[in-house]
Structure 1
């Protein structure tokens, strides 16, 4: 496959964005369905080209070097752009284009009748093109440009229904919180550039990481990790993601499965040699990921909004990926990213299907939907089992690989990560089957009408309802993409990376493929011993660990059984359980008061109360005072010089003489 073919993977969806935004929307609004078909066609072509890119990498057994093209050459700063096509890129291209294609097909049913249908498809095309550009970037600056385009696209899509105050606020919150992480990313780029212009070229960086000092490499890696923490919603920059549910549900599906939030994990994976060169940074990544996995899962235990539960599960699963990256399990992290994309997209699309029928996302007003939505019910159960890590679904194999690798590390941080992983597995299984039984079990509890009545009774305003809900199964244009994702949620894990040879796939096939470019996860590619050691610890899938599999599966099954007792069999009352644990329940339900801390204390009290007040005082007392004094003294100097220029020849001659003498003196002192 040529370099131009890879560029087309990005440019074709970008072209769909341009055509939909600048041609279809202003000139042919009556043909709004055309916008959807243009986006779907562009992504179908991109997906086909992504498969070709995958086969090219597979045949080359590693990175395909297309070289670089000079982008900028100014005052010693030379920047190049190019395509980095290696196994990591190939996997990401298939995941991003494939999942996005399913989401766009689904959107034809979900967004039908929306007055901004064309704008929606234009934004989705830009969003997908931005992520495709990010994963193919060869230069760090090039990657950063697409990174910011992903952030901008997400802002537009989260605030898609911008007339809703909550949607507009959520979009601004997402944009500003992720900017905090991006500031660290920018500092890391500047620090890397300070090591030499060539270090911005990713393959060059892989080959020369050993030339960077220990302190510098730690700071650079931490800066990149700060960017990843923002994009992947890791603690403490996780608060934007639950609110991002204000966007259309297909947007949430794409953000959580294949685009924005996975960009952070991809960034750490792409710059992994920097982390290998800094043990401290590796421990930071592992501990932040382990804490986030449990922290986010705990909030999912008590949330009532089905999309928020899924949002917390995303944050938790990204914590799994981060913790194993911090332990050196590069392949395990990418494998879980791969499987997670399928079952998480399925679950979000399933929640959209439920909303399409009921008009609400609040599970307290659902129930009984198994009878009227059999396809959605079955597919949601499949997605939940996969997310919970139940054998033999895809999530089981990738989650088990993470925990098995944590055992092999055999360090304090490794055991902490393992404990966090098992606890999170229990919580994940509990809250996902809480979703299943609250949504599909029992009797129907009224949907949007009941929710609106309850809110109005409490003195609130009835929420807007998207579309025209009807209690029944979603149309096939929505079910069909879910079926494809359901098949992948079942089989993608075992078929892609089986623990034994199965004929169509060799043992640890996924691990062997993604390790085709060892520079990605080796600190010094010129050190043969380092390459061999990295292949053993980061690049190869660990052997199947029966003990880990049994323990993690038991934790998940206990979680499912407890959810059954509370929400299906009704043998344990959720209300009485909440009353008995009221302080803990309130803490989790109020999201550990993180929003209050950030908005009430840091933003309002510290920023507005201290920073803004101090800035106002400085401007009034210093800046304005200097400006006034400067004006007075300028007037006085001007008046004095005006007296010299009085028309008398002798005064003019004196001024010229003084100027000449001063010039000669200056030349004698500084000119030689």
Structure 2
């Protein structure tokens, strides 16, 4: 049977996790790394083979690619509902197999050099395997509950990897922060799933309706009676979808649930590349894409929530990135901003008329552009994070003040980092230009205001990325620090992934007709660049790069210093992330802890525990009071026996 091997895509990383987790301590670092890397290499080969086989499958009569379920079985029956486990192949899951396996394999190879000599090396590779298995299981899920189960495993994996350096307080704090914030958001995801499952009667995906006509496509989307949920109330499905979106917003670090991602940089830098740039943080985007027919058909008005949250998050994160000095945190806020681009692109996918009309070019463009940017961003952002790892490996610091002039010492890292910066800035012919311009075009079709805001955010992206580039590779060299520890190029295990990801970044924009593989309708979608928007956005990006060059390229930066002095409060506010962490601390400590937690704790201690203590005390006292009745003296028993018999006799006579 074709695709009968696909279970190995999930089984191999699971076995790698179990072997390394249980027996890794008895292995050498090299053996543990080889087991993790070779298993992931096999998964990558299988994933590429599966994706290529799927995308070259003969299309159906209506021009769509088929939805294939190689296996699916009931794991836990629950009345009329059931929790199933299976493997679903469709365009977005096949695309995600390529993204996850490619980036994960590069991270595995890269970690040989970056994590060399680290305590817990085998534990690190075990956690990488667990994360990869969890993310793969999420994207190939055949039903919402399987997605949620692997969604939570992804969260656990993230917690373990962020807190890898657990002896450090900052790492422990960051891992707990990520876990708590994402679990809070996931609570809403679960509530949405339960609401939907209760009214529809199923959790399973069923894409048998693949026509563009959304009225025909969305109805059989789940194996269950969607009309029953609609009849129960017009807001049932929209409410469920918005609750699920909150879960996705937490995982994808959308405002105001973004606070965990910058602190997550306390984990090893390869982890940042894998989890917080290319895979885990796009889970929320993937969730909306997977449920896209339901949004279009039953909650088109609520999609504006996705747009507004995404637009604000994109601008907010870009503004903060302009002021950060820690290179990993610049990339972290850049990631938040770019994920917001994908969210906005999905949110602007509205048909031109009421539900039931044919999905028009506008909706097609936004969906395709979002998935395209997900693919391209994964490659160049992973390259940027891995490049940052090489830099940190060379100078032993995350701060730009410890860098400057590194182009002389690290030529490979310099070139790959520069090309990735050009890609994220949207400069042709790099991949970011093609995907980001499609998003901006979709935004202008939705609203000129949204289009110009996102164009401005794209300009900010170009500015802060080249501020970062010049701060690392040009600028003032810290000669005193470099004299003590001369920077050097990373070993080949670290530079090879940079070169590989850069090659994809250079070529995949113009060499791959992404619309022929992934589209909202499942049919081939021809990509046509809007010349006016492409030229405008490119010119604006070049002007932003020119401004960053003017301010930050020289060894001395008088203009930057003057700007800091002119706007000290604005700069400090952006550097402090506009005090969102302080707001959270105030709300939790001053409001929730004081007015909610303390009263609840008092009720728990004084009333609930007091009642339980009272029952224990009263029982003990009662036992003490009748203790003499059971003293072992037969004469006492005889007296009580006769007393009871007389009492019963008198009662019976009275009756």
Note whether the superposition's TM-score is higher than 0.5.
Answer: yes
Contact in 1 for aligned 2:278/2:381 (Cα 8 Å): no
Q: 1:84 aligns to what SS in structure 2?
A: strand
Tell me if 1:102 matches 2:123: no
Match of 1:528 in 2: none
Tell me if 1:568 matches 2:567: no
Deviations 1:393-413 (A, max 9, x none): 00000000101112223xxxx
Tell me if 1:421 matches 2:448: no
Residues 619 and 340 (structure 1), Cα distance of their counterparts in 2 relative to 1, 3 Å cut? same
Match of 1:303 in 2: 324
Match of 2:568 in 1: 582
Match of 1:337 in 2: 374
Match of 1:178 in 2: 182
**Count of residue pairs the alignment pairs up:** 602
Q: How does 1:460-475 map to 2 (within 5 A)?
A: 470-475=486-491
Tell me if 1:371 matches 2:408: yes
Give the distance between the partners of 1:645 and 1:292, measured in 2 at CA: 81
Q: How does 1:631-670 map to 2 (within 5 A)?
A: 647-649=643-645, 651-652=647-648
Match of 1:507 in 2: none
Tell me if 1:223 matches 2:243: yes
Q: How does 1:205-220 map to 2 (within 5 A)?
A: 205-206=221-222, 209=226, 211-213=228-230, 214-220=234-240
Tell me if 1:613 matches 2:610: no
Q: How does 1:175-574 map to 2 (within 5 A)?
A: 175-201=179-205, 203=207, 205-206=221-222, 209=226, 211-213=228-230, 214-276=234-296, 277-328=298-349, 329-409=366-446, 414-446=447-479, 470-497=486-513, 510-515=514-519, 518=522, 540=525, 543-569=528-554, 573-574=559-560
Residues 291 and 655 (structure 1), Cα distance of their counterparts in 2 relative to 1, 3 Å cut? farther
Match of 2:38 in 1: 41
Give the distance between the partners of 2:570 and 2:529, measured in 1 at CA: 37
Deviations 1:344-399 (A, max 9, x none): 01000110111111111101110111111111111100000001111110000000
Q: Which stretch shows the higher mean deviation, 244-253 or 417-426?
A: 417-426
Match of 2:158 in 1: 154
Deviations 1:602-639 (A, max 9, x none): 22112221212111332344324544665688799999
1:571 Cα deviation after fit: 7.0
Residues 624 and 572 (structure 1), Cα distance of their counterparts in 2 relative to 1, 3 Å cut? same
Q: How does 1:133-172 map to 2 (within 5 A)?
A: 133-172=137-176
Give the distance between the partners of 2:133 and 2:485, measured in 1 at CA: 32
Deviations 1:284-311 (A, max 9, x none): 0011011111100000001001110000
Residues 620 and 475 (structure 1), Cα distance of their counterparts in 2 relative to 1, 3 Å cut? closer
Residues 605 and 516 (structure 1), Cα distance of their counterparts in 2 relative to 1, 3 Å cut? closer
Give the distance between the partners of 1:423 and 1:618, measured in 2 at CA: 52
Match of 1:527 in 2: none
Residues 652 and 230 (structure 1), Cα distance of their counterparts in 2 relative to 1, 3 Å cut? farther
Q: Which stretch shows the higher mean deviation, 308-317 or 571-580?
A: 571-580
Give ranges in structure 2 of 5+ residues lacking alignment: 59-64, 208-219, 350-365, 630-638
Residues 65 and 516 (structure 1), Cα distance of their counterparts in 2 relative to 1, 3 Å cut? farther
Give the distance between the partners of 2:43 and 2:321, measured in 1 at CA: 35
Q: Which stretch shows the higher mean deviation, 583-592 or 611-620?
A: 611-620
> So what's the TM-score if we normalise by structure 2?
0.86
Contact in 2 for aligned 1:404/1:542 (Cα 8 Å): no
Give the distance between the partners of 1:654 and 1:142, measured in 2 at CA: 70
Residues 251 and 629 (structure 1), Cα distance of their counterparts in 2 relative to 1, 3 Å cut? closer
Give the distance between the partners of 2:25 and 2:192, measured in 1 at CA: 42
Contact in 2 for aligned 1:209/1:274 (Cα 8 Å): no
Contact in 2 for aligned 1:256/1:344 (Cα 8 Å): no
Give the distance between the partners of 2:40 and 2:425, measured in 1 at CA: 30
Residues 653 and 97 (structure 1), Cα distance of their counterparts in 2 relative to 1, 3 Å cut? farther
Give ranges in structure 1 of 5+ residues lacking alignment: 451-467, 498-509, 519-534, 662-672
1:79 Cα deviation after fit: 2.2
1:212 Cα deviation after fit: 3.0
CA RMSD, aligned part only? 2.7
Match of 1:120 in 2: 124
1:96 Cα deviation after fit: 0.2
1:584 Cα deviation after fit: 1.5
> So what's the TM-score if we normalise by structure 1?
0.84
Give the distance between the partners of 1:567 and 1:657, measured in 2 at CA: 108
Residues 360 and 541 (structure 1), Cα distance of their counterparts in 2 relative to 1, 3 Å cut? farther
Q: 1:390 aligns to what SS in structure 2?
A: coil
Residues 646 and 405 (structure 1), Cα distance of their counterparts in 2 relative to 1, 3 Å cut? farther
Residues 70 and 624 (structure 1), Cα distance of their counterparts in 2 relative to 1, 3 Å cut? closer
Contact in 2 for aligned 1:275/1:282 (Cα 8 Å): yes
Give the distance between the partners of 1:614 and 1:645, measured in 2 at CA: 52
Contact in 2 for aligned 1:83/1:137 (Cα 8 Å): yes
1:77 Cα deviation after fit: 4.0
Match of 2:53 in 1: 56
Residues 14 and 517 (structure 1), Cα distance of their counterparts in 2 relative to 1, 3 Å cut? farther
Contact in 2 for aligned 1:160/1:167 (Cα 8 Å): yes
Residues 407 and 443 (structure 1), Cα distance of their counterparts in 2 relative to 1, 3 Å cut? closer
Q: 2:82 aligns to what SS in structure 1?
A: strand
1:648 Cα deviation after fit: 2.7
Q: 1:5 aligns to what SS in structure 2?
A: coil
Contact in 1 for aligned 2:430/2:505 (Cα 8 Å): yes
1:196 Cα deviation after fit: 3.6
